[in-house]
Amino acid sequence: MLTRSCWRSKLAYFLISILVLLWFGVLLKHQPERDSLLVGEAVREEQEQVETVGEKLLSLNSSDQHSVCLVSSCNSVEMATSAVVIWLHGLGDSGTANVGIKSLFTAQFMKNVKWLFPNAPVQRVTANYGAYMPSWFDVGELPISAQSPEMEAGVMKTVESVHAMINKEVEAGVSPDKIFLCGFSQGGALTLASALFYPETLAGAAVFSGWVPLNPEFISKIPAKAKQTPILWLHGMNDNIVDFKHGQAGPPLLEHAGVGCEFKAYPGLGHSISNEELSLLQEFFGRRLGASSSKE
């Protein structure tokens, strides 16, 4: 027969076990959602068997907390580079995980395009309760809306790193008007800021589910040549990470600043990239590279 003290011990153990389970449940519930990039089975299959030919790792400013690691890949190693695409991933993602996306661009004029997939530095993110994760700059909260605080100082610091990538390609002989910036979510916001403050005209910038990560005063600081860089902005209307209305407010602001921007909304699309958007991006590449048809 159990004594009273024994019953108390068992009851205490039971209550402690319940509290531990509840604590773990709270932790799991509050894990932040990572930016998702969904572009169909073709990309996932390609990511599982990423080709190693023509790929290499290199670093920029390795002593700086804003340094990035690049995965570079050319569609062809036999011919000279015709253009460069720098793809900037979303919060919590990596450039390495996005390498397979280039396999979806099959037009003839894309054959000798060089792709760069930078990896964001790992740093504390306020929206992630101060925990470390891959991030181009600090994000104050999720979802991102018009009321979200802008972390402009961090954005502009990372813009310098993106400009360093561009300058490296220019030094290698690629004209700025043959260099594209593309980005998803946080990478889209960085793409926009980097294109708007580069001193030369780029081939173009594509923003997927992004936002303007700058205070309104930035309009007066855009270099004249940067205003000639065309912007392609695509956003899903069911986005639950970057509020659609917040993203939609960006293009009119750019137009007011004298920057040409093509905007398209996708009903039913959440925080991801569709194959339809990527087809439109390939057409954008073709127009900017002077191809007579995106199917060439």
Residues 6+ apart with CB under 8 A from 279: 294
Burial class (CB in 10 A: 0-12, 13-18, 19+), 231: buried
Residue closest to 262 by CA, chosen among 243, 236, 281: 281
Q: Select which of 89, 235, 246, 271 is catalytic.
A: 271
Q: Is 239 tagged catalytic?
A: yes
User: What is the DSSP code string of 13-35?
Assistant: HHHHHHHHHHHHHHHHHTPPPPP
Residue 284 to residue 279: CA distance in whole angstroms: 9
Q: For 241, which DSSP code?
A: T
Cα torsion through 251, 254, 256, 258, rounded to 10: -130
* CA distances, 186 to each of 27, 111, 286 (Å): 24, 28, 25
For 191-203, letters b (16+ CB in 10 Å) and e give bbbbbbbbebbbb
| Catalytic residue of the set 35, 148, 235, 239 | 239
Query: Is residue 6 within 8 Å of 245, Cβ to Cβ?
Result: no
How many angstroms separate the CA atoms of 227 and 260, rounded? 7
Whether residue 256 lies in the annotated active site: no
Catalytic residue (one of 185, 209, 274, 294): 185
Runs of H (alpha helix) within the chain: 4-29, 41-48, 152-171, 186-197, 244-248, 250-256, 275-288
The phi, psi pair for 31, rounded to 5°, reads -70, 125
How does DSSP assign 210-239, residue by residue? ----S-GGGGGG--TTGGGS-EEEEEETT-
Active-site residue numbers? 185, 239, 271
